[in-house]
Chain A
Amino acid sequence: MQVNNNIYAPLKARLTEVIEESPLIKTLVLIPEEKFSFNTGQFIELSVDGIGEAPFTPSSSPLVSDRLEVTIMKTGYVTGYMHELKPGAIMGIRGPYGRGYPVESFYGKEVLILGGGCGLAPIRSLLYALENISDKLERVVLCYGSKTPSDCIYKPLFTRLNNTPKFEAHRTVDKADEEWGGNVGVVTTLLEKVKINLRKSLAVVCGPPVMMKFGTLKLVEMGYPDDLIYLSMEKNMSCGLGKCGHCMMGKFFVCKDGPVFTYNEIKDQPDIWN
């Protein structure tokens, strides 16, 4: 989508609702000025007028084009301003950018999704997309880890998934509280508990760098082929267009060649876990 044929000009979008997911995470619901469609795994550059822009993967369904949800963790300057915005505010959107998940190639397979932290936001959009094609999939298994039980966002999502045929969702926390009765440990510990038919399976990993690294290495150890492990990479980004150079990871511009890569594509590039 390009405004006036200018790749740098954002499309305006009205903020209609702010959902508080956790003390540090909010979901902004946006109504774009024009229809805006994206493929799951693609990202947008979202701007606060006059303040700055940052990349986010929409957390809403890729099947909806008149409404967009973005789930934002407050980590610094721009996201700090985003958390202050009230319904009615006008924001800017550029995109969608990059290469998302090749969901057609998931047909006939078991999809294992490994997520952590705010990585659940992009995964939610992927789950919507997979629900839509569930008749063509064998099974979808979500393993999600958060620091504490209260850091977990979209809690109702887990109940819903566990009530959806072919879907199952597992949770773990690094540190339990009194009420927590579930698994304790990093997200890879869940992998020992789920049954997987490796021959039919592929894996998706999305989360903070450490989790991506250990998650991927564990999957490789389990026998997943490198070209069936999909990673959503996060790098500093400015343009989103494959021009500004900020997101370079070896020979790739993560914004344009990614952000979704197979492990096979990037394993020889430098600093992939940084």
Chain B
Amino acid sequence: MRYLSINKEEWDVALERLLSSYTVFATISNGYGLDYEVVTAGNIRDISYDRPKPATPLKTFFLPVRENVTSGKHAERQRIILGIPNCDIKGLGILDEIYLDKDYTDISYRERRETTLLISSDCFDMEKNCHCSSYGIKPYSEDGADLAVIQIDDHIILRVITPKGEEFSSQLTMLKPAENGEILNEIEKYHKAVESLLSSANKALPDFETTGKLVSAAGGKIWEKYSSHCVSCGACTTICPTCSCFLLIDRPGFEKIKQMDACQYPGFERTAGGGDSLFELSERFRNRYLCKYVWKSRKFRSTACTGCGRCIEACLGKISKNELFTELTHASQQ
């Protein structure tokens, strides 16, 4: 990994030049918070660096809500996504394992992955429900993304992570090696500060492995209690960067539409004759937890929960998984 630096004014100019060959998405604040916007010459200066966390999970760039997967129409323009928090970069791992599986590769997913440059940005602050570090994820990228971008005053620092990131940065002529040790020290200071913010905010939260054990052992009562406010809207799975279940829908001409689906919707596991192991709301609710913290972690190398906290923010029933885990922890200590 190496660091490059560029003056912020020059960076903005370079970025504007890239717009002719790339579609660029970047995190920009709107009235409500942070989200990805299409970058134009007019909003380059509004791009926000080092702030967590865009409302939209990264997965939506690779798994559209609804897509015709037999029409053979892909080859979008080369894309740059800028300002991705590291939790979302880590969330891409499990999607890659599923969709780039050697036995059955999803070609639309692969094309989108190949034509997209991932530029992460370090989080120098946390949002209310962020808990990445409880699950061993750092609030800055050192692998997974192609590059990371950091703003320190009027400097932009690039951390070059992959060969693809290296190749990209070689196109930007104004970049200089970041020899200024002071800047790197300052970045490290920010990292330490945000890590300590995260750990003190989530002191009561069990780590990933303990969570898995607690979830496995938890009896029906707690699931009934927490699911009593659940309305099966599926917001938690829709907003989750690692949930990627879908349904294939048939269209005339043997076309298949792939539509995002969720285990929280009734009927997800219904079989012929009416059998349905997830018929009860509390069973569906519990399924999401077992899937994330127990089953997928046995099946895949990558994590199925990044600790982004979006499911807590999105829940119509104001259900917090972290309150549930804290309660399970307390109960287990009694």
Contact = CB atoms under 8 A, between A and B. Distances in A.
A75 B251 CA distance: 22
B291 A50 contact: no
A242 B101 contact: yes
A10 B69 CA distance: 11
Given A75-B273, A236-B269, A242-B101, A9 B246 contact: no
A209 interface: yes
A7 B295 contact: no
A7 B104 contact: yes
B31 interface: no
B42 interface: no
Interface string A172-195: 000000000000000000000000
A243 B248 CA distance: 11
B72 interface: yes
Contact of B253 (A49, A53, A245): A49
B272 A75 contact: yes
B295 A250 contact: yes
B105 interface: yes
A52 B276 CA distance: 20
B256 interface: yes
A4 B72 contact: yes
Interface string B77-109: 000000000000000000000110101111100
B70 A49 contact: no
A23 interface: no
Interface in A214-254: 234-236, 238-239, 241-246, 248, 250-253
A12 interface: yes
Interface in B280-334: 290-291, 294-296, 298-299
Nearest to A79: B272
B163 interface: no
A53 B248 contact: yes
Nearest to B269: A236
Contacts of A245: 244-246, 261, 263
A274 B275 contact: yes
Nearest to A272: B277
Interface string B226-263: 00000000000000000011111111111010100101
Given A53-B248, A244-B247, A8 B258 contact: yes
A156 interface: no
Nearest to B216: A270
Contact of B107 (A5, A51, A234, A238): A5
B252 A49 contact: yes
A256 B107 CA distance: 19
Please classify how large the interface on chain B is, using the bins under 10, 10 to 19, 20 to 34, 35 or more.
35 or more
A255 to B, nearest CB: 10
Contact of B69 (A6, A50, A54, A92): A6
A272 to B, nearest CB: 9
A271 interface: yes
B271 interface: yes
B254 A246 contact: no
Given A246-B268, A274-B275, A92 B254 contact: yes
Interface string A39-55: 00000000111111110
A9 B277 CA distance: 30
B69 A52 contact: no
Most chain B C-beta atoms within 10 Å of own C-beta, residue among A10, A53, A73, A270? A270
A245 B287 CA distance: 12
Interface in A1-23: 4-10, 12
Contacts of B176: none
A235 to B, nearest CB: 7
B270 interface: yes
B107 A236 contact: no
Nearest to B291: A248
Nearest to B270: A236
Contacts of B272: 54, 73, 75-76, 79
9 contacts: A6-B69, A7-B106, A92-B254, A209-B275, A236-B270, A244-B245, A246-B247, A248-B291, A251-B298
Interface of B: 69-70, 72, 98-99, 101, 103-107, 244-254, 256, 258, 261, 263, 268-273, 275-277, 290-291, 294-296, 298-299
Given A7-B107, A8-B256, A248-B291, 4 more contacts: A6-B69, A242-B104, A243-B244, A251-B294
